[in-house]
Amino acid sequence: MPYADLKRATLLALFAALPTVVTAQGAGSSESPNIQADQSTATTDSEKGLLPLEELRTFTRVYDHIRNSYVEELTDAQLLEYAIKGMIAELDPHSAYLDEESFEDLQENTSGEFGGIGIEVGMEDGFVKVIAPIDDTPAKRAGIEAGDLITRLDGQPVKGMTLTEAVEKMRGPKGSELTLTVMREGMEKPFEVTLKRDIVRVKSVRVRLMEDHYAYIRIAQFQVNTGKEMVDALNKLREENEDIRGIVLDLRNNPGGVLQASVEVADAFINDGLVVYTEGRMENSDMRYHANAGQVAEDLPIVALINDGSASASEIVAGALQDHGRAVILGTRSFGKGSVQTIVPISDARAVKLTTALYYTPNGRSIQAQGIEPDVEVERARVTAIRGPKRSTEADLSGHLGNVNGGEESTSQSRAERDKDEGSVEDNQLHEALNLLKGLHIFQLQQAARAPLPQMPENAAESGTAESSSAPAE
């Protein structure tokens, strides 16, 4: 086919594809759009769904130049696919063109098993940015942190790659090695980390008992069945342990996942009302998600942990619990990924992941680029318990008087035994969450048992004085 005919055919193919996009935006109809030739009204007519002719001419000139002059011969199919990828890559870090392999990877991510190093990523300034490492993966074990920028993959610069291309390069067979060059805030120079790829199996929910009285719920990622798994696990824990006094909901380094799963988790702790709503340009992008009546732990206080690795669906849960006054949010400001991506099929094997709306909390707060501000800000820090020299107390003295109220005597030995449980001290944010729950429990007990103080006799001041004395140290 002569190239002039090819160019015309290419333009016709582009025109044929555009009405679907225009209709999806609510700006046109199923008929072919008009071509705009008048530059003076380009902006107005563009809003009406008309195509700017001069920009189309520029496109065909660039297309022609690349096809004839590039050092390697490229097919028309390759060039058009590159054009689509480039167009979508310029929109935002979360929109993407999905070929058959990418679409399969997306399905694997939401189902909970895939191959790779185990990180949730986005793009920032041309580099791959770590949103969060996934629990029990090579990346987590190697110390990769939320906020790290990956500049090279096996020595190859990331600049110039699309996010999809970078993710594909990080995937590989189990046992194969991948070297990351990482830039981290607070460090002057990049450093390298070599990881061994593994089959990443994401366990969405973990539940355990802490200090005999507190439920710890860790949600690593929101998958299709996360809501049901969390409710079942919490109910089982409560059946086995009757005296549970509070819940720590750990959403730190949770990169998000399935929207409906986050709604189900928030619904489990909220009686009724709005959980989250979305707004976008498309008519069907305006959605409202409400909680159903009933809670799994209505009688228990909740502290939810977040940090800068908490994104998307985890921010929806934190924002809903915060707006409904159902939980105290503790930690640091979340990531701020408050946009909705819709998978739009283009063919049987290809699709576009396109940002179509923004998330809002029940009180109308936009999560996008703002994140969730914690009620109690606690930075992550290394905490070491200080052990001073062994000291004696009154209860250690031979022949000491017992407690007249029958209370348990606190010896230095019994305190030492209690101090053995230091697991929460190493994680200072979790430690603070537990302390907060303990304080809330004590306050509730005090309020429930509050009674009038006994009245002192009027002549109490005349009945004598009491002195406290101790022998001087020798």
371: its two tokens: 């994140």
Question: How do beta strands 156-157 and 149-153 pair?
Answer: antiparallel
Options 102, 310, 312, 334, the catalytic residue: 312
Please, are residues 88 and 96 in contact by the beta-carbon 8 Å criterion? yes
d(CA 298, CA 62): 63
Options 129, 140, 337, 353, the catalytic residue: 337
Predicted confidence (pLDDT) per residue in 35-92, tens digit? 444 444 445 555 556 788 899 999 999 999 999 999 999 999 999 999 998 999 899 9
pLDDT for the residue 163: 82
Q: How many CA atoms lie within 13 A of 341 on its CB side?
A: 22
Options 102, 323, 334, 424, the catalytic residue: 323
Predicted confidence (pLDDT) per residue in 335-385, tens digit? 999 999 888 888 888 899 999 999 999 999 999 999 999 999 999 887 666
pLDDT for the residue 59: 93
Indicate if 390 belongs to the active site. Answer: no
437: its two tokens: 């729950």
E strand intervals along 34-169: 35-36, 51-52, 96-98, 113-116, 119-124, 127-133, 149-153, 156-157
Which are the contacts of 129, defined by CB distance < 8 A and separation ≥ 6?
121, 122, 123, 147, 148, 149, 150
Closest CA to 349 of 84, 21, 98, 20: 98
> Which residue's structure tokens are 């094997």?
349
Indicate if 337 belongs to the active site. Answer: yes
Residue 60, class by beta-carbon neighbours within 10 Å (0-12 exposed, 13-18 middle, 19+ buried)? Answer: middle
pLDDT for the residue 48: 59
Indicate if 470 belongs to the active site. Answer: no
DSSP letters, 153-171, are: ETTEE-TT--HHHHHHHH-
pLDDT for the residue 298: 86
Please, are residues 19 and 30 in contact by the beta-carbon 8 Å criterion? yes
What is the chain's mean pLDDT, rounded?
82
Q: How many CB atoms lie within 10 A of CB 83?
A: 16
The three-state secondary structure class of 392 is coil
Question: How do beta strands 246-250 and 214-219 pair?
Answer: parallel
pTM: 0.72
pLDDT for the residue 15: 44
Predicted confidence (pLDDT) per residue in 17-33, tens digit? 443 333 333 333 333 34
pLDDT for the residue 158: 94
Query: How many Å is the maximal CA-CA distance in the chain?
Result: 118
Closest CA to 190 of 128, 99, 260, 132: 128
Please, are residues 291 and 317 in contact by the beta-carbon 8 Å criterion? no
pLDDT for the residue 46: 55
H-type helices in 302-405, by residue range?
313-323
pLDDT for the residue 360: 97
pLDDT for the residue 463: 47
**Domains (range + CATH), the chain:** 3-74 (no CATH), 113-201 (2.30.42.10), 205-340+356-377 (3.90.226.10)
Blockwise average pLDDT, block size 10, the chain, 474 residues: 49 44 34 42 56 91 94 94 91 88 67 76 88 89 93 94 86 91 94 93 90 94 94 96 96 91 97 96 91 90 95 97 98 95 86 94 96 96 67 72 64 46 66 94 86 66 46 45
Rg from Cα positions in the chain: 30
d(CA 132, CA 112): 15
